[in-house]
Amino acid sequence: MNTTPLWASETFWKKTAIWVTAVSFLLLIVLTFDSMAKVSAGSTARVPAYSVINKKIDYRLNAKLNRYVPVVESDAPLFGKTLSDEEAEKLVTLGKKTFQAKNCINCHTILGNGAYYAPDLTKSWLDPNWVDEANRETLMLAFLQDPAGNARSYGTGRRMPDLGITEDEARGLIAFLKWTAAIDTNGFPHNFKTLYAQENQ
């Protein structure tokens, strides 16, 4: 009588494949919900609520962690108006949708995703090239609505095209970029000198 060992049986491997696939699928679902909970705005200290746009945000070296971390400080409402949680969420969401609709990611990188033609925007709210805190919002607003007239290439020779961004969309984009600057990105970008660091020199 010729008996095939269990481990060599076709039936055994079919059943094993079904069980492994089923368990992997369930694990993927659990991990997806777990990840979504951890990356949702306001769910953890690493990803702040949208209302963080009402605060001053900086990015400093934490000696204990040996990496750069966002620092949320005193009140500094965007465009001089303190927004409720709902208003802040609406404005940041408009900015995110505008970022997606205008395909900004085709040239820029944000939070590790995108292209490398134009500057990384993860901490662009804190970029020292905005000159100073008092003028930053005005300069960003003017630049987004008229990139050619307010060109800021800083020696790269690259220019942002006019994407037809409205004032409301520009304000949303600025809110979105201020919010992303407050996200703890595990020290990325490293050694990034912020606008405040330049002002204090």
Higher pLDDT, 33 or 90: 90
Higher pLDDT, 134 or 105: 105
Assign 10 a pLDDT band (cuts: 50, 70, 90).
Answer: confident
Residue 74, pLDDT score? 92
What Cα–Cα distance (Å) separates residue 188 from each residue in 28, 82, 120? 27, 28, 11
DSSP states along 135-170: HHHHHHHHHHH-TTTT---TTS----------HHHH
pLDDT tens digits for 131-183? 888 889 999 999 999 998 887 655 667 889 999 999 999 999 999 999 999 99
Torsion of CA 36, 94, 129, 193, to 10 degrees: -20
Using CA atoms of 57, 61, 63, 66 in order, give the dihedral in degrees to the nearest 10.
120
Residue 132's pLDDT is what?
83
Separation of CA 165 from chain center: 20
d(CA 79, CA 140): 11
The DSSP secondary-structure symbol of 45 reads S
**What is the dihedral sign for C-alpha 163, 108, 156, 143?**
positive
Residue whose entry in the numeric block shows the structure tokens 């008229």: 146
109: pLDDT strictly greater than 90 = yes
Mean pLDDT score of the chain: 89
Based on C-alpha coordinates, what's the Rg of the chain?
23
What pairing do the DSSP bridges indicate for beta strands 55-62 and 109-110? Answer: unpaired
Is 165 in contact with 144 (CB distance < 8 Å)? yes
pLDDT tens digits, residue range 17-47?
999 999 999 999 999 988 888 778 888 778 9
Tokens of 191: 């050694």
